[in-house]
Amino acid sequence: MEVLWIVLALVVLLIAVVLLRAVLLKPTSAQTAKVQLDETSRAREYGKKLAKLVQKETISSRFEEDRTKFLEFHELLEEMFPNVHNNCEKHVFNGSLLFKWSGKGTHEPILFMSHHDVVEATGTWEHEAFSGDIDEEGRVWGRGTVDTKASLFCMLTAVEELMTDGFEPEGDVYIASSCTEEWSGEGAPLTVEYLKNQGVKLSYLMDEGGMILEEPVGGVKGTYGMVGVLEKGYGDVKFIAKSTGGHASAPKKNTPLVRLAKFMTNVEKKNPFVNKFNPTVKEMFKRMAPNMAFGMKLIFANMWLFEGLLKKLLPVISSAAGAMLHTTLAFTMAKGSDGLNVLPQEAYVTGNMRFIPHQDTDESVELISKIAKKYDIETEVIYKDYACPVVDYENTPFHLVEKVASEVYPGIGICPYVMTGGTDAKFYRELSENCLRFAPLYINDQQYASIHGLNENIYQGALPLGVDFYKKMIELS
């Protein structure tokens, strides 16, 4: 009986500790922070200029060698940013751009990145995909507004205006913009090769990535700047099932398509990859926890107790959150027989993989290959690379982003997070250990969903804030 009372007392104490830790987490300023879009003539001027850049169609494809459209886009930039072109070294790598603004040489160089190529714009849009229309709410419409002509515009405008004011940076400032980012082409690698040959080492670089979002995770109230510090590795894998084929009128058991279907169903039902809360994800939820709904706060304030449960539940609740915890495999293409009444001698599906550092590229490929083998399926690696080094969110460059973002966007929270997509920053890992993925522009949920989708648009009132961010980063670097 005495033991029972002791156990009961310990349970009560545990519950009290769990509740107390949640109650003591007071909401931060991020919970009520709202981005005040610029409504002045400055915003309207910027909106019209961005619209011109959007109107120049710059869809890129690995199958298109002609770079004329990108060179024409460069001409628009030259008209729009005369100071940049008169005072910076300009290098063109088969349509991709690099500008160098020479500084005093007292600080290490920095680099801001973007890309001026865009993906195709199929489907029916509210405003034509390359119209550059500006509606009554001050939204600039068109493919590339968010991804990523707006951030390129803000970078170049920041430099243009600082030059007009007579400012001279302490260190060299580089601006890079690829025309092959959307298909991981040669633009960024050629730029990196040039910089390496020049012996350039960067204090930090900043590429596209996270942005300024309200409620970035369901149940988290407030406005946050999401700064990517971890970019997963990338792979394309082909899974091949073979047989002797035959006539479809007398099918055998376990034909190639059936084996592939069983394999895919197995992988989807039971994720074979290890879920783990890496330090980046833990820090992200730590910073968000004070502004969570109480039920979520109770759990995330007590990760020491609930981490095991969350590893299982989080991927089920949110695929986006789950992708931050493990390697992912998405089946993307398939092919069977060429005839409607013919059993295939060979069928295949392809899978797109994104590799998490704790279960790296080679380990993940080996694991999925073993599972495929159980279904008599061969695995062929079409392409693979490795996860990028994780940026330390305690380093000076990350703290600088926090400082500047807090000045430009008062009250917002800043969170490190895992980039589940890919960026050109992966090619720059040898030039800097601080490759940050952050575009300092406010977008809403619809605008976020429009990236690579329908009705891409951005508020012109967000552009002055982006320009001010880049100005302050340059001034303080």
Contact 179, 95 (CB under 8 A): yes
Q: Per-residue DSSP letters for 116-131?
A: --B----S--SS-TT-
Q: Which two tokens stand for residue 311?
A: 């590893």
Q: What is the pLDDT of residues 192-247, one digit of tens each?
A: 999 999 999 999 999 999 999 999 988 899 999 999 999 999 999 999 999 999 98
* 430: exposed, middle or buried (Cβ count in 10 Å: 0-12, 13-18, 19+): exposed
pLDDT at 9 over 80: no
- Within 94-199, residue ranges assigned H as helices are 150-164, 187-197
Q: Which amino acid is at 158?
A: A
pLDDT at 320 over 90: no
Residue 353 CA to residue 385 CA, distance in Å, equals 10
% of the chain at pLDDT higher than 90: 90
Contact 444, 212 (CB under 8 A): no
pTM above 0.85, yes or no: yes
Rg (CA), the chain: 25
* CATH class in words for 41-229+388-476: alpha beta
Contact 190, 93 (CB under 8 A): yes
Q: Over the chain, what is the mean pLDDT? A: 95
Backbone φ and ψ for 107, nearest 5 degrees, come out as -125, 165
Domain boundaries, the chain: 41-229+388-476, 233-384
The answer for 209, left when phi > 0, alpha when psi is -120 to 50, beta otherwise, is left
**Structure confidence at residue 121 (pLDDT):** 96
Q: Per-residue DSSP letters for 250-313?
A: SPPSS-HHHHHHHHHHHHHHS--SPP---HHHHHHHHHHGGGB-HHHHHHHTTHHHHHHHHHHH
324 CA to centre of own chain: 12
**In the chain, count of helices (H) and strands (E)?**
15, 16
Contact 352, 329 (CB under 8 A): yes
pLDDT at 7 over 80: no
pLDDT at 286 over 90: yes
Which residues, including other chains, have CB under 8 Å from residue 192's CB and lie 6 or more apart?
A: 427, 428, 430, 431
**Structure confidence at residue 343 (pLDDT):** 94
Residue 315 CA to residue 275 CA, distance in Å, equals 9
Contact 434, 227 (CB under 8 A): no
Q: Cα–Cα distances in Å, from 290 out to 28, 380, 447? A: 6, 46, 26
Backbone φ and ψ for 94, nearest 5 degrees, come out as 55, 45
**Structure confidence at residue 95 (pLDDT):** 98
Contact 149, 158 (CB under 8 A): no
Q: What is the pLDDT of residues 140-183, one digit of tens each?
A: 999 999 999 999 999 999 999 999 999 999 999 999 999 999 99
If you count them, how many residues does the chain have?
477
**Structure confidence at residue 15 (pLDDT):** 84
Contact 87, 163 (CB under 8 A): yes
Q: What is the pLDDT of residues 399-416, one digit of tens each?
A: 999 999 999 999 999 999
Q: Which two tokens stand for residue 227?
A: 């700064």
Long-range Cβ contact pairs of 250-255 (< 8 A, separation 24 or more): 251/343, 252/343, 254/376, 255/343, 255/344
- Helix (H, G, I), strand (E, B), or coil: what is residue 359? helix
pLDDT at 16 over 90: no
Residue 443 CA to residue 54 CA, distance in Å, equals 17
Question: pLDDT band for position 457 (50/70/90)?
Answer: very high
Residue 420 CA to residue 401 CA, distance in Å, equals 21
Specify the fold of 233-384: Alpha-Beta Plaits (3.30.70)
Q: What is the pLDDT of residues 55-98, one digit of tens each?
A: 999 999 999 999 999 999 999 999 999 999 999 999 999 999 99
**Structure confidence at residue 2 (pLDDT):** 78
Lowest average pLDDT, out of 51-60, 90-99, 308-317, goes to 308-317
**Structure confidence at residue 317 (pLDDT):** 81
Which residues, including other chains, have CB under 8 Å from residue 161's CB and lie 6 or more apart?
A: 467, 471
